[in-house]
Chains A and B, each alone.
Chain A
Amino acid sequence: MSTRAEAAQGLRLVSPTFLYVLVMLAAPLAMVAAFSFWTQDYLIIDRTPTLDNYRAALGEPIYRTLLLRSVAISLTVTVVTVLLAFPVAYFVAFRVKRQQALWLFLITVPFWTSYLLRVFLWKVILGYNGVLNATLMGMGFTDAPLTFLLYNANAVVITLAHAWAPFAILPIFVALARIDRSLLEAAEDLGDGPFRRFTRITLPLAMPGVVAATLIVLIPTMGDYITPRLVGGTEGLMIANMIQIQFGQANNAPLGAALAVTAMVVIGTISAGIFLIGKRLGGRLT
């Protein structure tokens, strides 16, 4: 088969997906981008290009605060999730000998219930009269219920870290499981103890999985609005909540679009940075 025929066949194979992506993703994105340069007065859209929306998005303290808080929360969630996911992935990849499939299956069990239910469960656990406070008081560790648990950024971090754990565990597991065991023996043979072997071989070779896990958690949590809405209180609100308000109650879709584009650019830049650092670490961490 000639290369041209192969290319044509390849194109035919990807064309349904390509079409889907075009209609469902590229077109709406273009719409959002276009909106961000327009202005809205009640129900009338004025299509004269303007940068006013971006001036507001970047200049007004409320938006800046929300944007920075979103970045801070999603970065914290990512770090916590990946740090907690790594040992689990490591355990399943290296210590579980016969029942790896069962373990991976168990890791996905939380997905059997809806995300909303899981968020509400965290409300029950972290609440003023919740499971955690009741336990702590019952055991005499605290006299009054702790109030820093729910309706703030901490609650958002805890809930999101739990929700995204499987997404972080799986890519790290795949990267670890792919490491040739003789490489670890070779490192040991050449004088490395367990710790050095981990930092010089295991971690650099697991880096692609760690980077994938980082991006998989970071990008969606940045735009999450259900979790902050339900457990975040006012201090836990994130940029996505504001975008939703702009498109809805505030009736200012162009400003909402500008906020969305800004958030996308910020998260895109951070992701690219993480990707490049990970690539470098994967090669140089010796």
Chain B
Amino acid sequence: MNETNGSAPMIELEKTVKRFGTFTALHGIDATVQEGEFFSLLGPSGCGKTTLLRLIAGFENPTSGSIRIAGHDMRGIPANKRPTNMVFQSYAIFPHLNVAQNVGYGLKRRHLSRREMAREVGEALEMVDMAGYERRAAHELSGGQRQRVALARALVMRPKVVLLDEPLSALDKKLREQMQRELRDLQRSIGITFVLVTHDQEEALIMSDRIAVMFEGRIAQMATPEELYRRPASRRVASFIGVMNFLPARATGETQTGLVVQIESLGEVVLPSHTIPAGLRVDDIREVGIRPEMLTVIFDDAPGPRHSFEGQVSGNSYYGDMTYYDVVLPGSERTVTISMRNTANRAVVRPGNPVRVGWSAESILLFRQED
């Protein structure tokens, strides 16, 4: 997305370090968020993603390093003077004000006429599908409505960047999925830069143009959702994003077309050169990864993929549209997870039955062992 509109950098973080006493929350973050981008900070709790968001908002000051927003150094600029607005995890709706007063809160200083004010507030509420709720008291709003009001309150300020701190975590599953789509569509249509903090990898994948995966105060990988899922840079990213099967493996040689790798239970295979990440040391390969949907249970004798193995189903989980199988690998006690779409002519295989599983060399993933 960011490459196609070829826009300028909106947020530039350079060697940003944050320490709280002896604890280092962020170890020198380098990242650039483009104008109009939907950028997510993804990681487990305590990885520093919220701290990074608070540094951008101006609620905390970096111990060292710099933060630039729209080309301006933010050193010494307090939160109330920054071109950013935040949607808080708790929404922080002012309990003593109604919806219109909440949304218009930040406009008070702009000395608008009563009519202009009402129009701005009305437009913002319309954007989040809350038109007509102006007179509602804060305590009369549901969780989803509070979330929308918090978003309208940020958008009405026409900020350069909207910061969202786990804005959907308090909503139930259905509403959360609906809000994910709405939020992304809204962001695309107004073109304001969004920075989202989340621990939910699915949410990050669905909404973002780019994702920075963080562990322990460092960015482990920064990439588009597709790249992150298809080419995780390290073992930790691979296991954090989606489901991944890990199999012991080692490199045994090289050919003109690729790398020869010996994988436990699957045998020797030539991995095409273009699937090997740059900078990966061949001697360091100890494991390979394969996604559950890249393994296929072969139901008939139709010509399948080039490689296959015979395994035994040890368990299954039926999801309606999908079935997840645990399959024991031949000559080992290790199991892999396989996901299969349930089409009309496929029966669910019961545990204890043997299955033939197909796979291809292109779907074998290589990555660093450490971050």
B137 to A, closest residue via Cβ: A283
Q: Which of B79, B84, B90, B157 contacts A182 (CB 8 A)?
A: B90
The answer to whether A189 touches B97, judged by C-beta atoms less than 8 angstroms apart, is: no
Comparing B104-112, B179-187, B234-242, B338-346, the segment that makes contact with chain A is B104-112
Shortest A229–chain B CB gap in Å is: 43
Say yes or no: is B17 at the interface (Cβ < 8 Å to chain A): no
Do the beta carbons of A188 and B92 come within 8 Å of each other?
no
Bound-state CA distance A200–B88 (Å) is 19
Residue of A180, A188, A205 near B80 (CB, 8 A) is A188
Q: Find residues 169-228 in chain A having any chain B CB closer than 8 Å to their own CB.
A: 180, 182-183, 185-193, 196, 200-201, 204-205
Q: Is the CB of B80 within 8 A of A186?
A: no
For B80, list chain A residues within 8 Å (CB). Answer: 188-193
Q: How many A-B residue pairs have CB under 8 A?
A: 59
Q: Shortest CB–CB separation between residue B333 and chain A, in angstroms?
A: 50
- The yes or no answer to B101 lying at the interface (CB within 8 A) is yes
B96 and A182: CB pair below 8 A? Answer: no
The residue that A190 contacts in the complex, of B85, B90, B95, with Cβ under 8 A, is B85
Among A183, A193, A282, residue most surrounded by chain B Cβ atoms (within 10 Å): A183
Report the separation of the CA atoms of residues A141 and B157 in the bound assembly, to the nearest whole angstrom.
Answer: 56
Query: How far apart are the CA atoms of A283 and B96 in the complex, in Å?
Result: 5
Instruction: Encode contact with A along B69-99: 1 for CB under 8 Å, 0 otherwise.
Output: 0000000001110001110111010111100
Which residue of the partner chain, among B97, B153, B157, contacts A286 with CB atoms under 8 Å? B97
A82 to B137, alpha carbons, bound, how many Å?
29
Given known A182-B88, A185-B59, A186-B88, contact A191–B106 (CB-CB < 8 A): yes
The reply to whether B94 and A188 form a contact with Cβ atoms under 8 Å apart is: no
**A188 and B79 within 8 A (CB):** yes
B57 at the interface (CB under 8 A from A): yes
- What is the distance, in angstroms, from B235's C-beta to the closest C-beta of chain A? 36
Q: Select the residue from B84, B88, B89, B105 with max chain A CB neighbours within 10 A.
A: B105
> A185 contacts B88, CB within 8 Å?
yes
A104 to chain B, nearest CB (A): 25
Known: A190-B85, A191-B109, A192-B80. A185 touches B92 (CB 8 A): yes
B94 touches A183 (CB 8 A): yes
Q: Which of B80, B101, B157 has the most CB of A within 10 A?
A: B80
Q: Bound complex: CA of A196 vs CA of B105, how far in Å?
A: 11
Contacts of A180 in B (CB 8 A): 90, 92
**Closest CB of chain A to B55's CB: distance in Å?**
13
A189-B94 contact in complex given A286-B101, A286-B108, C-beta closer than 8 Å: no
CB distance from B103 to the nearest CB of A (A): 10
Pair B108/A185 contact, Cβ less than 8 Å: no
Q: CB < 8 Å: which of B85, B95, B105, B157 contacts A205?
A: B95
**Nearest chain B residue, comparing its CB with the CB of A189:** B86
Question: How far is A187 from B79 in the complex, measured between Cα atoms in Å?
Answer: 10
Given known contacts A182-B88, A185-B59, A185-B79, A190 and B157 CB-to-CB distance under 8 angstroms: yes
Could you tell me if A189 and B85 are in contact, using CB atoms closer than 8 angstroms?
A: yes
CB distance from B59 to the nearest CB of A (A): 6
- B-chain residues with CB within 8 Å of residue A286 when the two chains form the complex: 97, 101, 105, 108
B96 touches A190 (CB 8 A): no
Please report the C-alpha to C-alpha distance between residue A286 and residue B153 in the assembled complex, in whole angstroms: 15
A sample of 29 cross-chain residue pairs with beta-carbon separation below 8 angstroms, ordered by A number, consists of: A180-B90, A182-B90, A182-B92, A183-B94, A183-B95, A185-B59, A185-B79, A185-B86, A185-B92, A186-B88, A186-B94, A186-B153, A187-B105, A189-B59, A189-B80, A189-B85, A189-B86, A191-B80, A191-B106, A191-B109, A192-B109, A193-B78, A196-B109, A205-B95, A205-B96, A283-B96, A285-B96, A286-B101, A286-B105
User: Chain B residues in contact with chain A, CB under 8 A?
Assistant: 57, 59, 78-80, 84-86, 88-90, 92, 94-97, 101, 105-106, 108-109, 153, 157
5 nearest A-B pairs in the assembled complex, by CB-CB distance: A190-B106, A186-B92, A182-B92, A188-B79, A182-B88
